[in-house]
């Protein structure tokens, strides 16, 4: 506790209030791994936005003469697939749908499960009902449930995303519920009640910031699984339909040629790995920079450009 | 003595906690009588101490006064109004007048809010504008002896004693008349304890506050409180001025409880206080009908097993619930 008195004693002129965003900024910039992860994600997003301009070929333009050619072929940096389409162009165009189908369901899922988990933890009876419903969804493996729902609703990008959201809700709800149950027992919640804070305000103003970090970190790590599940659904013909470029479809299409031309499956596979890894690493760093107990050390001991 | 009116009048409150099993069809699996038919009054401007071992229901009693726990039975009059009959909105207004300070100072502050936000929250709940609330936060921090310029910091950057000061500042934000102090110093170092107690008694005089001070430390209660209530397993066993209860404990439990305070004997060995304390906690109740302490009491006799003694007045302001005093001496 000596550190505390040292930091409080000198009355330095300090910024009035440092926001969460400031700490996320410092945490990410100060941590080299997170910096790389953030850079990869930003690059992928830029690639998705500017795909039509940066891709050397249209995604579905086939050149049958060069089919199955390996990476390094003249004019086709990453080679060509079984129909003679340029893989680099397809990767660039495919990043659009891959990012959307990987990130949007996670965000929507979190938006549903955070209130569900919080309310469930606050009202025990309702919580029991919510969690038992979640248990029913849990009983199915993630991919199987998504397949079932997507098959019920019919193929298509929107239906696939709805199916993914429903599949994700139980996982994230359980994370939030567990965190909120712990939080509810802490004295500051009782103090909030003693000072006449309305129930909903306790939940969404006092408890939410303490609970949401767990959910953000979890959401970041699950983006990878969602990309893979979305790819699986597309492979089964329940999601994005070929010939649209999407990394999952590209991987599964390349599957049949894995001995003849392994690069067709390997390159989009590597792209997925890169995306998943970037989100996982960013999730780790976010956890540190969102926790008020660890984030001060981030600012102090890591001399980043934004720290001080 | 009746010149000062009673601020809080607790009449026969009881609370039984039930452990339930099963998901949808809940049935009681076990139950504990946390507070059993307790009546007490707290006069305006008084510091009432409440001592007892763990599980004696002293915190539950305080929380029932705050209406953080609903009593099963009885009435709680605050300034003549029964808090239990109030509508939620009326109770909201009454919450301004009753506040609480917790045992664990760090846990009682929201870790993701700055100190200023933590203290401003009760003000904002009652519609104070942010600008006014900010000024008030600075005043409050100065009142409890902290630097207002550091109020953008987070609670964990402060030490335990400083956090307790912040918690006190927050409790005082709404200008309450009554503070429930739930073991406010038992999580702190001895040197800090004295600082916090001094601060509390200063504030009590300056702001004309009424305290209910819950503690398991009889020595602190003796110095800090005007009157003391001794509780054991949800029952009130003895009341009186703190000085008298400490100097001349009447109830056998109070005597035994005083004996659990650890001290060194002349031959520099620790007294076997821990063993005795364990005896106090683990004693099984002899019978439903008899005195709650009959199982361990050294002075028990036949009547103790048959009927529970009522809290009766002996000499002046002392009340004791013990058959030793309720009948003519044998």
Write out chain A residues lying below 8 Å of B158, CB-based. Answer: 4, 8
Say if residue B65's pLDDT is above 50. Answer: yes
CA-based max dimension of chain A = 77
pLDDT higher than 80, residue B259: no
Residue B298 Cα, gap to closest chain A Cα (Å): 39
Q: Does A9 touch chain B (CB under 8 A)?
A: no
Question: Mean pLDDT across chain B, nearest whole number?
Answer: 81
> With an 8 Å Cβ cutoff, is A11 touching chain B?
yes
List B17's β-bridge partners, or say none: B32
Question: Which carries the bigger pLDDT value, residue A65 or residue B259?
Answer: A65
> ipTM beyond 0.85?
no
Segment B198-216 shows an average pLDDT of 89
Cβ(A218)–Cβ(B120) below 8 Å = no
- Weakest-pLDDT range from A35-49, A119-133, B265-279, B305-319: B265-279
**B164-185 average pLDDT score:** 90
| Per-residue tens of pLDDT for chain A, all 308 residues | 344 444 444 443 444 456 667 777 777 777 788 889 889 999 999 998 998 888 888 888 877 777 777 787 777 778 788 788 888 889 899 898 888 888 899 999 999 999 999 999 999 889 999 999 999 988 888 888 888 888 898 888 888 899 999 999 999 999 999 999 988 888 889 888 888 888 888 888 888 888 888 888 888 888 878 887 887 888 777 888 877 888 888 888 888 888 888 888 888 888 988 888 888 888 888 877 777 666 666 555 444 333 33
Chain-chain contact of B167 with A191 (C-beta, under 8 angstroms):
yes
Q: Do B152 and A209 touch (CB under 8 A)?
A: no
Which of A209-213, B177-181, B269-273 has the highest average model confidence (pLDDT)?
B177-181
Helix (H) or strand (E) holding B157: none
Task: Determine the residue of chain B that is closest to A186 in CA distance.
Answer: B107
| Burial track B250-282 (b if 16+ CB lie within 10 A, e otherwise) | bbbbbebbbebeeeeeeeeeeeeeeeebeebee
Q: What is the pLDDT of residue A110?
A: 93
Q: How far is A107 from chain B (nearest CA, A)?
A: 23
Q: Can you give the pLDDT at residue A297? A: 61
With a pLDDT cut of 70, the percent of chain B lying above it is 85
Inter-chain CB proximity A8 and B153 less than 8 Å: yes
3-class DSSP state of B311: coil
* pTM of the full structure: 0.79
Residue of A nearest to B174 (CA): A195
pLDDT in tens, B72-97: 888 888 888 888 888 888 888 888 88
List of chain B residues whose C-beta atoms are within 8 Å of the C-beta of residue A7: 157
List, in order, residues 6 or more apart from B231 with CB less than 8 Å away.
B38, B50, B51, B52, B56, B57, B58, B61, B237
A1 and B159 within 8 Å at the Cβ level: the answer is yes
Neighbours of B111 (CB within 10 A): 18
- The pLDDT of residue B311 is above 70: yes
Residue in A closest to B68 by C-alpha: A194
Comparing A288-302, B7-21, B143-157, which segment has the lowest mean pLDDT? A288-302
Q: Which of A14, A188, A190 shows the shortest C-beta gap to B68?
A: A190
For residue A257, the 8-state DSSP code is G
Mean pLDDT across B186-202: 87
Of A194, A197, A292, the CB nearest to B111: A292
Minimal C-alpha gap between B39 and chain A (Å):
22
Best residue of B110, B119, B153 to probe chain A, by most A CBs closer than 10 Å: B110
- Confidence class of residue B21 from pLDDT cuts 50, 70 and 90? low
Closest CA to B66 of B88, B46, B83, B47: B83
């Amino acid at each position: 506790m000596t550190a505390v008195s040292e930091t409080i004693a000198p009355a330095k002129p300090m910024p009035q209030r440092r926001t969460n965003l400031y700490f996320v900024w410092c945490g990410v910039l100060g941590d080299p791994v997170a910096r790389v992860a953030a850079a990869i994600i930003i690059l992928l997003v830029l690639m998705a936005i500017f795909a039509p301009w940066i891709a050397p070929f249209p995604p579905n333009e086939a050149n049958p003469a060069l089919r199955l050619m390996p990476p390094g072929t003249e004019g086709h940096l990453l080679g060509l697939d079984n129909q003679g389409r340029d893989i680099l162009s397809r990767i660039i165009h495919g990043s659009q749908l891959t990012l959307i189908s990987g990130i949007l369901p996670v965000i929507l899922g979190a938006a549903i499960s955070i209130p569900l988990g919080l309310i469930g933890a606050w009202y025990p009876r309702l919580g029991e009902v919510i969690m038992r419903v979640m248990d029913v969804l849990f009983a199915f493996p993630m991919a199987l449930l998504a397949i079932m729902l997507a098959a019920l609703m019919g193929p298509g990008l929107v239906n696939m995303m709805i199916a993914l959201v429903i599949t994700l809700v139980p996982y994230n709800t359980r994370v939030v519920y567990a965190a909120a149950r712990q939080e509810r027992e802490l004295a500051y919640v009782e103090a909030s009640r003693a000072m006449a804070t309305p129930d909903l305000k306790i939940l969404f103003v006092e408890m939410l910031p303490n609970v949401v970090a767990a959910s953000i970190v979890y959401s970041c790590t699950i983006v990878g699984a969602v990309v893979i599940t979305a790819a699986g659904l597309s492979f089964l013909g329940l999601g994005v339909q070929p010939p649209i470029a999407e990394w999952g479809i590209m991987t599964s299409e390349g599957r049949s040629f894995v001995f003849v031309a392994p690069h067709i499956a390997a390159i989009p596979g590597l792209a997925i790995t890169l995306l998943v890894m970037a989100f996982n690493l960013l999730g780790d760093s976010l956890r540190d920079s969102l926790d008020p107990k660890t984030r001060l050390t981030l600012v102090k001991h890591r001399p980043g450009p934004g720290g001080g | 003595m009746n010149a000062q009116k009673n601020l809080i009048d607790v009449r026969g409150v009881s609370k039984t906690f039930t452990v339930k099993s099963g998901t949808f069809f809940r049935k009681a699996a076990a139950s504990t009588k946390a507070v059993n038919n307790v009546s007490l009054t707290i006069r305006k401007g008084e510091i009432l101490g409440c001592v007892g071992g763990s599980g004696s229901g002293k915190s539950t009693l305080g929380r029932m006064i705050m209406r953080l726990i609903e009593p099963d039975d009885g009435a709680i009059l605050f300034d003549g109004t029964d808090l239990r009959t109030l509508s939620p909105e009326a109770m909201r207004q009454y919450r301004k007048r009753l506040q609480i300070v917790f045992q664990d100072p760090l846990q009682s502050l929201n870790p993701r809010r700055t100190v200023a936000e933590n203290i401003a929250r009760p003000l904002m709940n009652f519609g104070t504008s942010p600008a006014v609330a900010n000024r008030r936060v600075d005043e409050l921090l100065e009142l409890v002896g902290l630097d207002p310029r550091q109020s953008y910091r987070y609670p964990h950057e402060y030490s335990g004693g400083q956090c307790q000061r912040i918690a006190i500042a927050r409790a005082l934000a709404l200008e309450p008349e009554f503070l429930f102090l739930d073991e406010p110093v038992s999580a702190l170092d001895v040197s800090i304890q004295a600082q916090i107690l001094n601060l509390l008694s200063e504030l009590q005089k300056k702001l004309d506050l009424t305290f209910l001070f819950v503690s398991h430390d009889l020595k602190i209660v003796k110095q800090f409180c005007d009157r003391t209530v001794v509780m054991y397993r949800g029952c009130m066993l003895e009341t009186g001025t703190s000085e008298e209860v400490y100097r001349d404990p009447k109830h056998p439990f109070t005597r035994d409880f005083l004996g659990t305070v650890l001290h060194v004997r002349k031959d520099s060995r620790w007294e076997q206080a821990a063993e005795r304390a364990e005896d106090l906690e683990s004693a099984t109740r002899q019978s439903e009908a008899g005195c709650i302490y009959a199982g361990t009491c050294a002075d028990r006799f036949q009547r103790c097993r048959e009927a529970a003694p009522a809290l009766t007045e002996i000499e002046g302001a002392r009340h004791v619930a013990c058959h030793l005093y309720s009948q003519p001496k044998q």
